[in-house]
Chain A
């Protein structure tokens, strides 16, 4: 096998991950490694990533397990709903804290580290892991080779999980990469909300986060996935999320991106079942000189499918961000309806923001619409607020907070709303 020169990991690294893993998983890792060696980087609309950090990192570091939440640093505890019984915290590649309520177990819900699910529920995991059809290129292949950590959620038929399942992925202090993989399987007519907080700070060197989320919503299931990311400047963050809906299923994505470093995120929903739907809401605040590329994509395959995309971006300083919204209607997706909107508020005079709405339609009997706007804060709005005595800075702050409110207010956990608001304040100050 020919090995390209710009590859930093060898077979050995993969072999170490494979220790004790079943044969089928080792094979997936091997496939991933081959892809990493041979596949090109993804081609992103208007963002060049060929000089970005792809694979310069330490892939693994063991962490000791904590016996109680009290041992977590305050900033991690703040992320969690105090009364919530279902929490898993991962530091680097290891689970450092896990608490799952008895009632959840009694309902037959599985909520655990993905590595544990591989051991205990191998068939169920095998059926879904890397099966959602996420695009294959050097970055996703590297994830497939080296993933560690992440969570597995399975909700049995007709079970409604009322409390959100909370997870934290946490990196700190060292140049250890995060390569978490979260797999959510919602059986017939089940309902679940999964909340993922990704936090990384105080790195001394450049590091990579390369994560994946796969969601399978079977007929009639409803899955809500909410995530807030705050990774520091040294982190290059790649995230690929993909959901597949069967008949009448629904997937909702609620994403808050407060990273300080370069970021690529692609969230795709395949509406394969008739009558299924997707709702995507995201907010990103870009500052400093960071570069970001976001894709929100929905593919309508089933009839009577519905989708809604709302992306809000605020651009400060000299940041650059591209917001791509892609609504695809495949032949046969009769009576499908897709709406999308990308709105970007330009604050920094040297910032660049691009709203890029794309409709790809192969079926006549559908409805599709898009709206995009890029512009500064309205001087008339500022004047109006100032005419009531509010200072210019405060007026702008209120307007920006109002601009992102449709996304922030729909986050499922109050603590998460607060955290996101706080992060937004931090970026604006």
Chain B
């Protein structure tokens, strides 16, 4: 990808089924940066991820999202992906009858011009290499996408896709949930492998634990559908020690969940 990726979210408001979730969220991510968004349940973290990717259930009601200066909200979901956005989903779909390998190859070929598709041999080599790094059994390439995968296997599969697709901006939505410590280390290894000026990362998590393995440059706290506090890695450590109450106190927030303030 040419140049350093740059995702700019300005004043973003998002509703789901007429319920306003995000209310004027601002965030900027550049290549080489790792951002973490933390916050208790129900504060709109996953909504941010889904809205940026273009989930059909989420309606953007205001604000803008641009990637390298281009209007993301005007793009179809597949175009967003081809422009360099990636979302490792919290609940990825199962697709019966479509193998992981066929799925990934279609995704890669969708990025190529007609007639310049990636050769099968080259593809298999790349996939095998990344699967090895993620300690995934090779049989997973022939299994149907996410069908019958355990929670941890699904997360690894999301990271495998990220490694193959090499996005400019990767959003990881609770990639740590349901993982034991060994699996977490492997997933983190995958993310760290890709860290470079060519990729910016946004991690969404409840727990500081993930941040021990993927060190963030910026930490943001979300409450009531917006970012209420930002800082460096030390902010995550403070949250780990003291919880969220001190922030609520500082900002005069009674209930941090979306819709509670009105």
Contacts and interface: CB of A to CB of B under 8 A. Distances in A.
B76 interface: yes
A399 B106 contact: no
A400 to B, nearest CB: 9
A380 B103 contact: no
A394 B95 contact: no
A385 B55 contact: no
B165 A381 contact: no
B98 A399 contact: yes
B179 interface: no
B78 A390 contact: yes
B56 interface: yes
Given A383-B56, A389-B78, A398 B98 contact: yes
A391 B104 CA distance: 13
A383 B97 contact: no
Given A379-B56, A387-B53, A392 B96 contact: no
Interface SS majority for chain A = helix
Interface string A369-411: 0000000001111011111111110110011011111100000
A164 B165 CA distance: 43
B89 interface: yes
Contact of A405 (B92, B97, B103, B106): B97
Contacts of B87: 387
Contact of B103 (A383, A386, A398): A398
A387 B77 contact: yes
Interface in A336-389: 378-381, 383-389
Most B CB contacts (10 A, CB to CB) among A380, A389, A390, A398 go to: A389
Interface string B10-25: 0000000000000000
Contacts of B82: 389
A181 B103 CA distance: 42
Contacts of A401: 97-98
Given A379-B56, A383-B77, A388 B165 contact: yes
Interface size on A, as a range, is 20 to 34
A403 B145 CA distance: 12
Contact of B89 (A384, A391, A392): A384
A399 B144 CA distance: 11
B110 A390 contact: yes
Interface in B68-107: 76-78, 80-82, 86-87, 89, 92-93, 95-98, 102-104, 106-107
Contact of B78 (A379, A392, A406): A392
Interface in B43-74: 53-56
A378 B98 CA distance: 14
A390 B93 CA distance: 15
Given A384-B89, A387-B87, A403 B161 contact: no
Contact of A387 (B54, B95, B97, B106): B54
B189 interface: no
Contacts of B111: 389
A389 B106 CA distance: 9
Contacts of A399: 95, 98
A351 B156 CA distance: 39
15 contacts: A379-B56, A383-B56, A384-B89, A384-B92, A386-B77, A386-B81, A387-B80, A387-B87, A389-B78, A389-B110, A389-B111, A399-B95, A401-B98, A402-B95, A405-B97
Given A383-B77, A391-B110, A398-B102, 14 more contacts: A385-B103, A387-B53, A387-B80, A389-B78, A389-B107, A389-B165, A390-B78, A394-B110, A398-B95, A398-B98, A398-B103, A399-B98, A402-B96, A402-B144
